[in-house]
Every structure is written in C-alpha cells, then in structure tokens.
Structure 1
Amino acid sequence: MKAYRGIIFVIVVSVLASVATAYWNGTLFQTSFTDWSDDSQYYNARALSLLHTGSLGEDQAQFRRPPAYPLFLAAIYGVFGERIAVAWVANIALFSLSLFLLWWLALQWLVGMRSYVVPLLCGLYGGFHYYVFSVGSEMLSVFLLLVLLFFLLRYRESQEMRYLILFGVAGGALALTKPIFLYAVPILLGGIAYQMRQYKGSLRHAGVAFAIVLFFVGGWAARTYALFGELQTERSGHIVYTRALYGTLSLRDAGIHLLASVTNDYVADQLFPGYGDDPVATRLGVMRITAFRELRADGYENKEIERILFGRGVSEAMRHPLMFAAGAVPLLFDLNTPENFNGFPVTRMFVGTRNTIAPWQKIAIVLGIRAMWFFFLAVVVTGMIRAARTALPNIGPLVFLVAFANISHAFLIIPPEPRFLVPVLPLYVMFFVMGARAIVDKLSKKSII
C-alpha cells in the first residue's frame, strides 16, 4: 500500500503540473471547438460527424487520418457531452494511467525510490504537458504502447495466452492510432516466440495475437475499400512522395539542412541568409502541393492522386537512393528536437521574431537548449547500451521500440515532428534514468543497477 501511495503522489503532482502549464500557455482557455485547428479540428469533426450522422465523414477531408482517436472522441463525447473539457479529462485519465504503467515497467529493472523517478520526470516534463491539454492522438498512443508492453512482459512471466490476446487487442488499437507501429508488432511477436521457443505454445500464441492485430487493421482497411476504394487506414501517398523528394536536393542544401537540424533554422539563416524563410521542409512541401494541384487540375480524384504520388515517391527514392538514405541523418535530429510548453519545437525558434534580442544572444540561447537536450539524449543512449550489454531481462522490446520509432519516421516522413516520438518518450525517460545510474556507477566504481 505504501508503494501505491508513492505513485499516486507522483500522478497528482504531474496532473497539477500539466494544469499549471495549460494555464500558463493559454490552452486551458481554448474551450470551444472553433479554437482548434489542423489535426485537432479533423479529429473533432470526424467524431462529431459520427455522433450526428452515423458516419465519420472522411470524404469531407482532403487527407484521411487513422480512425482510432476519432472513434475514441466520439465515444466519450457521446457519453459525457460534446465539450472540449471532456477530451481533456479523458487525456488526464490516460496520462495518469500511463504514469502508473510506466512505474510498473520501471519496477522491472529499478528498485526503491528509483522506480518513482521515471514517472516523475516524465510527468514533470513541460513538453509532455502540452499533449495532456490538447485534442490529439498522442496521449492515447502513449497509453496503448505502455499497455502493449505491460501485456508482453506479463506473458513472458506467465506464458498465459490471455496476455498475448490482450497484447493483440492493444496492438490493433495502436496500429489504428499510429499506423507505423503496425510494422513493429510482428517483430515484437517474432522476438518473443523465438526467445520462448522452448515453450511449445509460444509460436501458436504469437500467431493468434498477430491475427487479432490483422483483424483490427484489415477489418478497417476492408471497410475503407468498400466505401472509398482504398485499401488503407490512412492516406500516405503524399507523405512518401514528399520524403522521396529529399533525394533531389543538392549537397549544399542537404548540408545546410543538417546544420539547421543540429542547431535550428535561425542559426542556419545567420550563416546562409534566406534559409529561415525557405527551409528544406517548406520547400519540399511546396513541391508536393504543386504536384497535388496539377493532378487535381488534370481531373484526378484525391484517392487517385494519393496512388500516383505514392508511385512517384517510390520511383524518386530508387532514383536517388544515397541522398534519400543520407536524409535520415538530419531528419533524426529533427525528430529528436526539444519542444516548449506550447508544443513548438526549437527548430523555428527566433525565425522572424524577438527582434529586440541581439543575434549572438539568440544563437547562444538556441545552442544552450540544444546542448542540454543533446546531453539528455547522450544519457538515454548510454542507458540503452548499458541495458543491452548487461542483458537486462525483458529490456529488448523497449530498446527495439525506441530504435524503430526513430528509424521508421526518419525514412518515411518529412518534416518528422518531435510529436511523432511522443509514444516512446516515456521509454526515453526510462533509459535516461538507467543511463544516469550507469554513469554514477562508473564514477563511483560501485554496482548500483
């Protein structure tokens, strides 16, 4: 009971901190549906459409996004009322449950007070608070990924099939929230089937779990095909095409982008004037929009355009394979960029703003933030390496998910926004604590972990 008091305290403090952040950045006052735009507007529109018309109304949107979060919103709006505050309360619940699950995971490798440090650091991180008081799929995806790991580790302990069945349900829901994780699920299942190959039922259990995931994803894809003639859960042709365009960049442009990704667009603009107003991501986005409009002018429908852009993207990637692959390096830095309390990455900090601050001061601030973040990432990597070298039991899935999220986004999406890594951010914190203990261990010459 005493242990539970500790995590309850961590959860209460974290929720209060997220409320304070939402008050400070003004999000707490965005209580109307009209206050929200972009992805939030899409999710709300689809949820309200389902409640009022019985259909998600996906045909009204230019790009189709994953369905799980709109369905989740529709469920809670239908039960508790159509108010933004309902989405916030649901996110707070998901946030609290995620911190509890993170504590449970930490207990597998960290003892005593150290197990509370992981959820506490995660709960106090201001960049994480933004997603608690927002209307987006990030908190749901964090919760589902931690549930996925919970059932996976429970299966490792007990070999009970029910845990892999629940793993399959969580995996299917996660794939319909963040489709990229669909490709991680079979690897996780294959890994556990191999590690437990001495147990005869493991392969059969893994097959059942994967069948459940395919039922979720395949069922929705079949429904989408029946309605719109597209066998997919999300339109991705424009995403693949834009990322493939990176291969067409000159070495100079790629080099400037690398500089910007390590520092930010303002710093790059100081050395290469004009870059701040026309960064690589914007330039490639304009090329995609131009191609889209040209195809629309030729009479193609959205689904046909997506199919054409996907084909063009594959062709471009094959035509410039080295530059396409090299682009993953700066995109990894773009992914691993710190965010402020408003959910904005440091990438665009000071571009066209704060003219009263001297340029050298702006550069110093940016480099200072980057230095602290790179230190954090270095400790995270240290923790991952230490965990892998010491063969900590059951740590493999966590290492894999962090690596998978980084590599897959770096090779598929531009610009790869830091929010794409939010589902694995709690795992970053886990490895940060492990890395910090490894460093202390080395300095003190004592066995701490």
Structure 2
Amino acid sequence: MRAFFTRSFVTPARIRFVLALLAMALAVGTACAGFLWSLDAVTRLRFAAPWLLYGLPLCGLAVAWLYRRFGSRAEGGNNLILDEIHEPGGGVPLAMAPLVLIGTVATHLFGGSAGREGTAVQLGGSLAHGLVDRLGLTGKARRLLLMGGVAAGFGAVFGTPLAGAVFAIEVLALGGLDLAALVPCLVAALVGDFGCRLWGAHHTLYPHISLPQTDPAGFAALLAKAALLGLASGVVARLFAEANHGVADLYKRFVANPLARPVIGGVLVIALTFAFGTQDYLGLGVLSAHPGAPTLPGFFVAGPDRWSWLIKLVFTVATLSAGFKGGEVTPLFFIGAGLGSALSLVLGLPVPLAAAVGMVALFGAAANTPVACAVMGLELFGIDAAPVLIVACVAGYLASGHGGIYLSQRIARPKWPRRSGGASLRAVRHVWL
C-alpha cells in the first residue's frame, strides 16, 4: 500500500507543482495587497486634487504607448488568459503584470471609472504563466497553474477566496464547471487571500443581510421578487456588456490610431463630468470625496437611489471602451447595488436586501458566473440570504443570454435550446439570446 501511495500520489512532479502553486499564490496575494494600497492612496489623492481629472487624456495616451512599446499582446487582458487556458498559443507576457498595475493605478489617479478585478486576474495569470515557462510545465499542470493564478487574484482582491476558486473554474465556459480543477484553485485562492491579508490589506465591508420573517406564502413572494430583480439585473448586465463592446468597436472602426482612442475617451469622461455636474461617478465608487455621494457601501445604508446605477454605467463604458485599464467588476457591483436600491420600492424589498441581490446578480449575469457570485454573496452578506441570492443569480444568468464581458468564454451548455454549444461569445455576441 505504501509503495502504491508513493508511486501514485507523491511524485517529484506533483511536489514541484504544489510548491509552484503555493509560491505563485503567495506572490499574487502580495501583489494584490500592494495594488489595493495603491488604489486607496491614489483615490484619496484625487479627492484632494480634483484637477487631476484634466490629465486623464494624457494618462490614457501614456498608458497606451507603454502597452504598444513593451507588451502589445498584454492588451488582450483577461480574454488572453482565458484563451491561453483553452488553447495554448503565444503565451501570457510577463510584462502584463507591471503594465496592468501601472495602467490601472494611473486610470484611478486621473479619474477613470474602472474596477480592479481585471488587474488582479491579469496579475495572477501573468505570474502563473511566468512560472509555467520557467518550470517547463505542459498539459494539465500548465492549465491548472494558470487557473490557480486567476483564482488567487480574484480571491485576494475581493477577500472572497471561495468565490475566487469557483470563479476560476466557472468563467472559462458557460454552463461548464471544471470540477477537476477545484482543489488546486481553492488552495491558490486561500493562499492568495492569506498573502494579501498578511500585509494588512483591507477589503470593503458589507452588512449581514437577513431575510424578513414571513409565512410560506410570503417566502414564495420574496423569492419571486428576487427572481424579478435578477431578471432586471441580467438585462442591465447585457446592456453594459454590449455597450462596452459596441463603443470599443466604434473606436476601432473610426479611430485608426490606438494611441488616440484613450485620449478621446478621457475627453469624453471630462465632458460627462461637466454634464452631470459631479465627480461622484469617477473611480471605483467605493469611497467618496464628501458625505452623501453615491457609493457602493452607501447603497446598503441609505434610502432608495433611482439613477446612480445608470450614470455609473455611462461613465464606466466611456472609460473602459476607450482602452483604459482596470476591470468591470467593482463598477458592476456599484451598478447592481444601485439598480437594486432603485427597484426596492417597486418590489417592496428592504433596501439593503435589494442592493445585495442586485450586486451579485448583475455581476453574475455579466460574467456568466452565477455559482461563483452566489458563493460570493454568502461570503460577503452571510448565509441567511442564500435563497434569494441563488434565485436572483440564476435568473440574471438566464436573462443575459449568450453575451457577457469576457468574449473568450466558450459555450459549454447553451442557456437556450436554439443556440449551439462550442462557440465563443465573440462568435455569437450579435444574437441576444
């Protein structure tokens, strides 16, 4: 038995893989801690110096030049990492890590409306691929280490390691969960989160959400309201994704020089700021320069907010479609929580509950990761709200159709019978369902 165990499970190759996974995840967690600290610092600096917004066009130009000069393949971002996991090709350049870190911090310093998940995932994917090349890993080990990098980055940047592990195995394909990769992804996400917290990094705190006490009929009505909010979240998620991809396509069609696109986008963000008369919709949307400004945490404690979700959507599309760096997730959290707050009166739901449901359902619909987002909801809001979170995430996932923010996702199991599987979202994005 000992000989069988030794030959089958404890081999030099597996020991090397486990050590590489642990080292990579710890490095990703450390990088995410520095990244979170940097975002907080530059956000507060922008609050103290609002005039920095006028440097956004030059910031975009500088970052676009850096990518063009030192790592053009890194422009592929999250989609490049997904493509490499599906079908190994040209690799993930190690330059992606410093480039996306510099680009995202600069975007937030000068007021772009962007997130942080894209940066964390690309940090994880880039560092993991660097180890893959150094160790000469191929086949399954290569794929698992790349997925572990995604899990470590996502889990560390949001402080949700369980969701990070599930996200890494769910984001690759619609309706496909690669359960064989769950253990290494879970280990990577836990170690990445530990590494991030070890450096004292702080994450956004959310309230514990409890469901109203009611009878069975009332509970059924509550689930029905959660489903409606999930459906609305799915429609808005698809709207966001199509607007972001569509405006990016327009830039490519009419602005031949890629260095000019972020300059135009920066000017557009400045114009939107003047049009709405506020800088409240710049940056992450987690902190505010003054009391009463709409923020992601504020949706859980303030009264209903009708239009902040739509304004944030416009600012974020204007930023990301032009090529600024960051990610979509935290703005999607803001949009989802704001949408939940806006619909709380219509649906007769407590504002904190509606904000929590909208936050996870909209992101789950946009990323096509309903299981990961339901798990994230449990990590952030507690297990009491599990029934409504799960129902809303499933409803949002179905309502968003075969579209999403990651065009390199494959369709493993179509959401609707008339759509065939196997294609990427890029190939079917012009069909709503």
TM-score (norm 2): 0.31
- Determine which structure has more spread, i.e. the larger CA radius of gyration: 1
More helix by share: 1
* TM-score normalised by the chain length of structure 1: 0.30
**Which protein has greater RCO, CA pairs closer than 8 Å, 6+ apart?**
2
